[in-house]
Chains A and B, each alone.
Chain A
Amino acid sequence: MRPFVFTQAQNQEQALAAAAANETAKYLGGGTNLIDLMKEDVERPSELIEVAGLGFQEIKSNQNGGYTLGAMLSNADTANHPDIRRHYPLLSMAMLSAATAQIRNMATNGGNLLQRTRCPYFYETSMPCNKREPGSGCGARNGMNALHAIFGWNEQCVAVNPSDMCVALAAIGAKVQVQRVNGTTRTIDFSDFHRLPGDQPEADNTLQPNELITAIELPKPAFSKHYYYLKIRERSSYAFALISVAAGLQIENGTIVRAGLAMGGVAHKPWKLTRAEEFLTGKLPQTKNFEQAAELAMREARPLEDNEYKVEMGKKAIVRALTQAYEKNA
């Protein structure tokens, strides 16, 4: 690992000031992603500013019926919190499907939002990767891309976002609160938080330099009864998803009045299935509707050389997740 300065900020102002003073500094959450990448020489910060101890560890209910999750709270404490289990079981289920108990204990919610792709070319500094080294080329585009995107990719980057938590957040609909150096705050809609590669594959999200994530806002709970997180992977735990689907249904008088649907492992950002959600709204929770929603969702899939399977798998996964969500409490 390259040498770096370790700064333990006492409060958020100090943290922000330290970040503003050093262009190559990075915030340190649980370190489960950042430290790994530093060992691999992929991330090379000259300074780490520890933010995990700054507070922002609460889960609060809001006046609008929603909840706010502190950014520095651990993934484990978030997923196991009674309010989250009761009102946002979809989020809980997705979070608990990720990594291992040990990693979830360390990982913070803020860090999870920013975890980087697991594209092997990104991890190996001797290979080209536009995300790691802009302009060096995308090794995966014409290389080994079985684990890569089927939606929203371009020649610049075909990587996928690896987070499970973010897939559930996309289905639920969330907002990210950030603090800026100048003392102001801003709120980013979750669908605008992560981005597609575009001509800036090095940027995973729309966070500006030095911005500190302080919280995740959740809307009034809608999917506490009918929800399912389906994660397809090679082994039963401790593996990233080949494909995952977060499905939430709000059913009233036998009809779907609201659907939340997002996929993981398919795009550079958590992939919200807006068209399928719209299609399902007002429909009966029946297999043929689920199948049609899946068809709609996958219509624009553009598989790469090695990941044709994701299209078939994706359809099946959407139908299964919706069915499980429906049957969960039916």
Chain B
Amino acid sequence: MKNTTPSGTGNPIDRVEGHLKVRGMAKYASEFPVSGKVYAQAINSTIAKGEITAIDTSEAEKQEGVIEIITYKNAEKLKRYDEELPSLLPDVIQPVLQSPKVHYYGEYVGLVVAETFEQAQYAARLVRFEYRTEEPRIHLDRQRSDAYKPEESSDYSRGDVAAGMAEADEKVEVTYHTPIEHHHPMELHAIIASWENGEVKAYASQQMIDNAAITIANTFQIPKEKVRVIAPYVGGGFGSKLHAKQHVILAIMAARKIGRPVQLTVTRQQMFTNTNFRQQNEQKMQLGAKKDGTLTALVHETLSHTSTYEEYQESCGTVSKMLYKVPNNKVSHRLVPLNLQTPFAMRAPGEATGSFALESAIDELAWKLKMDPIEFRIKNDTQTDPSNNKPFSSRLLTECLRIGADKFGWERRKMKPGAQQEGNWLIGYGVSGASRAAPYRETSSKVKLELKGGKVYATIQMDATDIGTGSYTIITQTASEYLDIPVDQVSVELGDSLFPVTPGSGGSWGAASYANGARVACMNAIRELNQKLNTDEDLSIQALLEKNELSSYETTGTAKPSEAFKKHSVYSFGANFAEVWVDKDTGMYRIKRMVNVGACGKILNPKTAFGQIIGGLTMGAGMVIAEQSRIEPKYGNFITRSFADYHVPVNLDLANIDVVFLPEEDKIANEMGVKGIGELGITSVAASIANAIFNATGKRMRDLPITPEKLIMAEPEPDAI
């Protein structure tokens, strides 16, 4: 084994693609200068349920530049779902424009293709649709009697929760609400699609290249080998780009129909209606504990919704199964089919919303027990995953809480709400634990070595994506480390389905999977070059090539989870501390500072890792202060339909953020000890802020987002004043 070079993993090097991005030279999907390309604009339904009864394209057809108008009447026939309510998985088919039926407001009902973007946009406005409208079902609350149990794994229980509750000295029985939220990555969803000799080529903003290729292949019923997906740079996804959505299919369909490359960019408004969202959840919690803080029972029941044509379930209750040692535990999920598009994974699906409910309820119970919420959590900490009795590969939750408390100055917190004041401000401290599975998936990579001017240059290729997270940088650092060459002799090529297959970016597995995939390829190269020489001398990669009399060499490698990995529960853990100042009169509040501590294995690059946590914290702050997509109760459309009314946090909303990573070696997680960071940050923000607001005001805010209007109307808990 070679020594780590100064530019290897663990060093805070700058992003290797940073200069390209700053100069606008990193190409995103809609920026490729494909010759002969034309522009498409998708048209959305303006009813939430019903059927198209007439379409008039005559006015639109007359417009200058218009090439084609596609509706269900003339659309290519695509593969249909084999079953009713198929699971929306990242590789599921995406039929579109196949029938006159409308399932939700904003569903694509047509597409206009024109020579220019402006022409397509304008003509799209002129296509007239008539509908037979039915009463849409869009109220989770009113439609709750339609709730069904989605699949076996949606329910879980251990012990006897009734007995556990009976045993408890203090109980909490409360319900938490979280609204629909939208992913809204900075880069709009986009594609440039073309057909050549029966093959599809798509520059598309996708997080997972292989899944996108599978979806396209299966929807058009062609072999996957005939689909090329290219996404060297992706401007964020947050889950919304995990799979190829209908606009991808629309553009490819149009390109085939007119025989020219077609560019289709989803508008910001359409990103409310056509690129999925995080669903609304109602989470009913029951917790019981003995006087000494021993948890006796924990029930977490979630009601949420799916669409009327696909099924997606976000497991809010997962966190309640595994985070604390509690003998009696019950978790369930129920879904109501609604006339909305299918919800889909958004940053920390399940954990972000589930942790808000669990970690708020834990705070509520700690208050009833008159126990410090940190001590209460530590009292119920465990090194064994109670949901499956597997040991955790490494779990530093207690350490995160203790070290965070120290950094934050938790000892200054008064248990009694409202005890800290300054002028018109009520000051509160809150804490929340954080947890997020640290998955790791089979990943392949190619390494190409070249000896030039006495130096070895390496190129790593894989179909991985960099969605703004830093994949290019950490893969570069990994290759630099394992080949023992400086980073500037490594180049990394990503986001092309011609490259070896990876799981793509999602689920917090990217860094671990990509780094290990690159590592195995590099180690294979060294081993193979050694074998050729029949030596076990510790030679540099340059010496290996020279002795082999090779000026270049290439090989591949595949990393996979080990047997030990499968025998453990592998998670990242953390804790978030928040100081919140609440105006005593106006309902406005400020997040003054946060301290976030994470134990997430080896930190490949502190800069990119900080970026991930800060991004997660910011998105978490958004969940609490303002993010919500509101549905018009009669028409079923989102009335929040631009960034002017869908509020995400601004710089001023986030004052001081201190991020701490605990050193953690977890070789069970994977050989490099890398665990997920991308989603950990978001999981603990909402509860820590809601708990701080309680500490400031005595008000329990159980309904996100916590807006001034809700805060001003809320009453303090009777026992808190």
Contact = CB atoms under 8 A, between A and B. Distances in A.
Interface string A282-320: 000000000000000000000000001110110011011
- 6 smallest CB-CB distances across A and B, nearest first, come from A236-B652, A126-B46, A120-B639, A316-B585, A309-B709, A234-B626
Nearest to B125: A41
Contacts of A120: 632, 639-641, 645
A13 B407 CA distance: 67
Contact of A124 (B424, B630, B634, B637): B637
Interface string B697-721: 0000000010111101100000000
A203 interface: no
B637 A309 contact: no
B123 to A, nearest CB: 11
Contacts of A232: 586-588, 708
A313 B641 contact: no
A247 interface: no
Interface in B606-663: 625-626, 630, 632-635, 637, 639-641, 644-645, 647, 649-650, 652-653
A320 B424 contact: yes
Contacts of B707: 234
Contacts, number: 89
B121 interface: yes
Nearest to B710: A309
A66 B351 CA distance: 59
B647 A239 contact: yes
A127 interface: yes
Nearest to B64: A3
A236 B633 contact: no
A178 B710 CA distance: 42
A316 B583 CA distance: 11
23 contacts: A118-B644, A120-B639, A120-B640, A120-B641, A120-B645, A121-B639, A124-B637, A126-B637, A127-B635, A232-B708, A234-B705, A235-B652, A236-B650, A236-B652, A309-B709, A309-B710, A309-B712, A313-B586, A313-B708, A316-B586, A316-B712, A320-B424, A320-B586
B122 A3 contact: yes
Interface in A211-233: 230, 232-233
A124 B121 contact: no
B368 interface: no
Interface of B is mostly: loop
Interface residues of B, number: 36
Interface of A is mostly: loop
Contacts of B635: 126-127, 139
Interface of A: 1-3, 41, 118, 120-121, 123-124, 126-127, 139, 143-144, 146, 230, 232-240, 242, 308-310, 312-313, 316-317, 319-320
Contacts of B653: 235-236
Contact of A309 (B590, B639, B713): B713
B586 A238 contact: no
B118 interface: yes
B674 to A, nearest CB: 35
B122 A1 contact: yes
Contacts of A310: 709
A237 to B, nearest CB: 5
Interface of B: 46, 118, 121-122, 125, 424, 585-588, 590, 625-626, 630, 632-635, 637, 639-641, 644-645, 647, 649-650, 652-653, 705, 707-710, 712-713
Given A121-B639, A233-B708, A235-B650, 12 more contacts: A139-B632, A144-B630, A144-B639, A233-B588, A234-B707, A235-B649, A236-B650, A239-B626, A242-B709, A309-B709, A313-B586, A317-B586
A29 B666 CA distance: 60
A144 B632 contact: yes
B121 A234 contact: no
Contacts of A123: 641
Most chain A Cβ neighbours within 10 Å, of B635, B641, B710, B713: B635
A237 B652 contact: yes
A144 B585 contact: no
A54 B641 CA distance: 35
Nearest to B105: A126
B650 A237 contact: yes
Contacts of B590: 236
B130 to A, nearest CB: 13
Nearest to A120: B639
A242 B122 contact: no
Contacts of B652: 235-237
A41 B637 CA distance: 17
B647 A127 contact: no
B397 to A, nearest CB: 31
A320 B587 CA distance: 12
B632 A312 contact: no
Nearest to A306: B709
Contacts of A320: 424, 585-586
A146 B586 contact: no
Contacts of A309: 709-710, 712-713
B712 A235 contact: no
A96 B713 CA distance: 28
